[in-house]
Copies of this chain bind each other. A is one copy, B any other.
């Protein structure tokens, strides 16, 4: 245990979650996270053997690394400030950064993930103007006066959004003819003419004389999407709309810094748990699409309000937005029909990038704000996958062989090799979302999320929130099947070995008891049965077949995979060794795996803050060769083989 020879209490500032805790003498950073209600992954409950409560001490004094830490962490990690929270005691007020992989509940809302490491090059930039008020000798219209002032500052011709025109006259007068404009570069990075932009941000007096108000032939003018008060910051909103969860990020467009983030369940769940049932709802209800869109937008507006409150801003300062999601979520958000997504051959209404007006969607942002919905690839490979692939950057390194996947009811897999990209969607089913599993549940408090089976055949469990177990979530069932296999309790076909420890039969179906009734939150036992194992087999076979078919298309073997990227909330929590052990992932060296958290959200933020990344996303989507598994000649053979539980 750690040094306790200290007096007084210290303040611990936990980032990026933005929470604080006061610690008494001898208390550890793990105590601080508990006091602050921030759930760290901690299988051993602070005993020091699970090594999962990794944090980084950013500033302030802390106890020197313990022997446990020296064994668990590499010298590089220690040098970079990484510590185990359960072993580290503050010696002053400290600031601690919690990496996404160390968080439980917080991360379950999918709002963490790789940070945006791209240079701010937003489509919308500020331009400060001061206008000469109108007189009887200078009767230019308010809009003309504003355009002329922009021209005087050397800015290319601007067009003022019609929504902005509705408030412009009153605003200019109430702000004393001074304003910060939010100007959208209409062509984004497609345009080379960046020179006039260098003058942006300067303040100057509007010219009285005539100025060129019409753009040169063929060029589209930049657009004024908001008129703000002098000094107002410009923000962007990135949202990741998954079937079950929403993640929303507020980004400062000048710095590309994420100033606030939040998450919420997707309110459409009430109309159908999965994509197919929501498509069904729309088919059965004339106003289905409208209702689903309205519920979603309602919640997104609430999230935007929260984010702005946190950042001390107003929603009118959100001048740009990006939304990613699977193709069905994309369509339901955009108000597009989904009927054809539910019928063979399952085609999207739209796959190219879509720029919609926020106000058309019902989003309350700056009056002229757009929402970009980046390109999707197919009916079951959405913009969230494109954003994920973008965020990982794998496809931009043309000489490497990289696999990236995001596991869900449909698992999207991308393979990059030799500058080409292949992609497919695997019908992996909802097993890892807790559905079709006897005691399955979502990743909520009381869900078993980690399973180890000891030498004695007895299970060691970790539940979310360290509550008494009530069920088992995706990462738990994956661990369970892997551990049952490793312990020899089930065989490669998924069949139970009769008489093995913990195994019993319930109505003729074999099962293994993870938690006996007396230990659970609801007084019933929590088990894994033969059917559950079968569901996992179907899921893992689908995923592995997807990877294998793409390797086949690329003419590569699995050993050639140099990086294997696992994105998404579930991908963050799953145990890679368990996944390899049952053969869901190829048996690569551990260091080739990378769990990147909500990379879709990170990609969305890249697209939001950088015109060139936006361009890159569109290019990426166009470069992808989509492989339809259901009609692929290799599919059936490989799928049947992949049903076996083995690496």
Contacts and interface: CB of A to CB of B under 8 A. Distances in A.
A435 interface: no
B628 A136 contact: yes
A111 B354 CA distance: 41
Contact of A352 (B141, B360, B376): B141
Nearest to A138: B345
A220 interface: yes
Chain A interface size band reads 35 or more
B140 A347 contact: yes
A269 interface: no
Contacts of A192: 217
A136 B380 CA distance: 13
B220 A356 contact: no
A498 interface: no
Nearest to A219: B218
Interface in A138-172: 139-144, 147, 160, 162, 165-170
Interface centre among A135, A168, A344, A352 (most CB of B within 10 A): A352
Given A142-B340, A162-B334, A219-B218, A345 B134 contact: yes
Interface in A336-383: 336-337, 339-340, 344-352, 354, 356-357, 360, 376, 378-379
A213 interface: yes
Contact of A628 (B139, B337, B379, B626): B139
A542 to B, nearest CB: 18
A354 B143 CA distance: 11
A382 to B, nearest CB: 12
Contacts of A135: 345
A124 B162 CA distance: 21
Contacts of A586: none
B350 A165 contact: yes
A187 interface: yes
A162 B349 contact: no
Contacts of A134: 345, 347
A143 B340 contact: no
Contact of A349 (B169, B187, B348): B169
A166 B348 contact: no
Contacts of A166: 335-337
25 contacts: A134-B347, A136-B345, A136-B628, A136-B630, A137-B631, A139-B628, A140-B347, A141-B349, A141-B376, A142-B340, A142-B348, A143-B349, A143-B351, A143-B352, A144-B350, A144-B352, A147-B352, A160-B350, A165-B349, A166-B336, A167-B337, A169-B339, A214-B618, A218-B219, A218-B220
Given A142-B340, A144-B350, 5 more contacts: A141-B352, A144-B351, A160-B350, A165-B350, A170-B337
